Amino acid sequence: TPRPSYTVTKPTTSTTSSESVMSVASGPAQQVPILNLPIEIIQQITTFLDHPSAASFCLSTRYICYAVGTQPLATYLGSGKTIYEKRKNIEVLERAFPSHWYCAWCDRFHKHDKNGGPRNFDKETQRDCAEYNSYLHDGHDYVLTYHHVRLALNRHLWGSDFGIGLEDFAYYKEGSTKIYGKKVPMTLEVEAKIVDGHFLLHSTFTVVANGRAGKSSAIFKGGSFDIPQIVLGHRDSNDGHTGLASTVNKILSTDWRQIQDSLALCNNTQLCSFCATDYLITPRLIESGPSNHTPGIEIRIETWRDLYEGRNPFQSSWRAHG
């Protein structure tokens, strides 16, 4: 039964005439015009749609599904000739149910944990597909897995009802690491963006070390310089990105009085030959290091990872990173 209409009027005064200042009329909710059409016409409309559109159409509302049946959906899901085409076609179901996402690793749908995300990975439902697939991390505080990338791209492609926002990937941490056996301050910052359908992850690690008097030391050996895996690491390798360790070692073993010569060799973006990560090392001489006795060297390491399109956890563009 339609609700009655109400009119709120402003009281009349001696100087102004009575006038209506607000009119609120509430009636029945507006229906989608196509739902008022006879079933036969809706069925006829379906015949003019391509297979992906017909499959999406039959999932749009309960009434449409009753009218056209599930045959268009079954035809489309069965039309994929390769495993990649079949996975792509299944996205029509994923788009129809925002509460779930399709996992190609398990070949099934998983429920989206609304309270999860890279910063709250421990609150998510623990699954083998997340445990054994590639992932990037900063210990237990930040764990970025494949399904986080997929959920972010789902939201980007299909709307706010799907997945997680890019703000869920933002991360900042202050702490300390050891160089030459001494604790020095460090910061880590992570942010993400989506460009041309690709998920890009930007990480910045900054550390301040004391200037050395030409002492040579391979600080990466033995884990004495703890750079977070999300910055340094890639799959099946403890050596980090191509050339990164040797460059940082060279900077830290350089006499601070000749550090400007080393600085001139940096400030150029490099490319890791293994995981195609771009990285930039930016050293800067500062007046006082952690010990306050000698000048210090601030080293900032930035990495840009292309984690690809989030459609397939087996793609080398994703697997190479974690």
pLDDT in tens, 258-298: 666 656 656 688 888 888 899 999 888 777 656 555 667 88
Say if residue 33's pLDDT is above 90: no
Q: Is 146:134 a contact under the CB 8 Å cutoff?
A: yes
**pTM as predicted:** 0.78
Diameter of the chain measured on Cα atoms? 93
| Angstrom distance (rounded) from CA 178 to CA 282 | 19
Say if residue 21's pLDDT is above 80: no
* Nearest in space to 121 (alpha carbons), one of 101, 111, 135, 132: 135
Say if residue 13's pLDDT is above 70: no
Mean pLDDT is lowest, of 7-16, 103-112, 152-161, for 7-16
Say if residue 154's pLDDT is above 90: yes
* Nearest in space to 238 (alpha carbons), one of 248, 251, 223, 253: 223
Sorting pLDDT into bands at 50, 70 and 90, what band is 193?
A: very high
Say if residue 77's pLDDT is above 80: yes
Region 94-106 average pLDDT: 91
Q: Cα 26 to chain center, whole Å?
A: 42
State what percent of residues in the chain have pLDDT above 90: 33
pLDDT at 75 (0 to 100):
86
Dihedral Cα 132, 128, 117, 89, nearest 10 deg:
90
Average pLDDT value over all residues in the chain: 81
